Amino acid sequence: MSLRIGILGPIPRDTITTHRGEEIKKYGCVTHPAVGLSRLLGADDRVVPVAHIHEVDEDAVVELLEPYGNIELQHISSVHDQGAVVQLVFVNQNDREETQTGAMRSISPTDVLGAECSVYVCVPITDYEVPLDTLVSIKEDAEALVIFDAHGPTTQVDLSGHRFRVHWLDMLDWLPCIDVLKMNLEESLYCYYPPGEVGDYDAGQRDHLAALAEVVLSAGVQHLYVTLDSDGCQWFTKVDGVIQSVFVPAYPVDHVVDTTGCGDSFAGGLAFGFGRFGDPLLAAQYANILGAMRTQGKTFEVFHDFEKTERMRMEYYRAKGF
């Protein structure tokens, strides 16, 4: 049976200065999981990006994605001439300063009409891009699985374009509309701790994750994945009312070129694992591999077809006892 996976979020015009001082210009966010999924899926499957872009970017975005025959482009719209423009300056391999000078028009329930997907991956980079009423509409009108990245609701932009972390204060209103929630470790702090209680980011600060998982899973989310930088991810779910936690180690890479889009690629791997196999552990493994592969270059050649990706997964994770 063919599979349709929708990807909701921006296609920002990114200017990236890597931690090595190299400047990269490319279109980001939705493009990473779209192409990663396109490579994994078959010719009869479909990847359906849903995004708003600037008119000036339309030809370049089409040229970028059109070669992938299983990516549908009709839900990428420049009608409102509102797209995201972002500058990213990495201070080290994982941390960066962000400035946003263009704002995508929010994705409304109307924008999703006709997509008809069994899995929707929402990868907003800022809080307004995929609003709650759009998730409500998806859950009301379809038997679809919703995968949501907490990066959006934990990020805002001030009047000067500076992007900064915020607390997801109304998280409990969103969780009943989300089946699979994905976030990184820093975002988890802003989902769990109240304002004023988040100090300097510490990658070793993980004691709160079990309590956060209890909140998230009790609110209706089926699976929570927290990415742990280069260590891997922690998967939480409930079995017979009891929280289960599994650490899934990262797929190893020797040399990191650019980490932009790793979280988006990870979300795409989750969509593949759930959409194709309905298996949350496999989903974590594919997610780790797509996130790792994204670091390996500047272009989409970093992503592999299913046969090669599956060999990579089997060889590494079997050796790890999975």
Q: Which residues of 194-207 are buried (b: 16+ CB within 10 A; e: fewer)?
A: eeeeeeeeeeebee
pLDDT tens for 236-250 read 999 999 999 999 999
pLDDT band at 216 (very low <50, low <70, confident <90, very high): very high
Give strand pairing partners of 146. Answer: 120
The total of other beta-carbon atoms located within 10 Å of residue 103's CB is 18
Q: Is the model's pLDDT at 147 over the cut of 80?
A: yes
With a pLDDT cut of 90, the percent of the chain lying above it is 83
pLDDT in tens, 288-313: 999 999 999 989 999 999 999 999 99
Q: How far apart are CA 274 and CA 182, in angstroms?
A: 13
CA distances from 97 to 23, 163, 165, 268, 296 (A): 14, 8, 11, 24, 21
Residue 37 CB-half CA count within 13 A: 37
How many angstroms separate the CA atoms of 85 and 12, rounded?
Answer: 5
**pTM higher than 0.85:** yes
How far apart CA 171 and CA 68 sit, in angstroms, is: 36
pLDDT, tens only, 104-140 = 999 999 999 999 999 999 999 999 999 999 999 999 8
Mean of the pLDDT values across residues 28-52?
A: 97
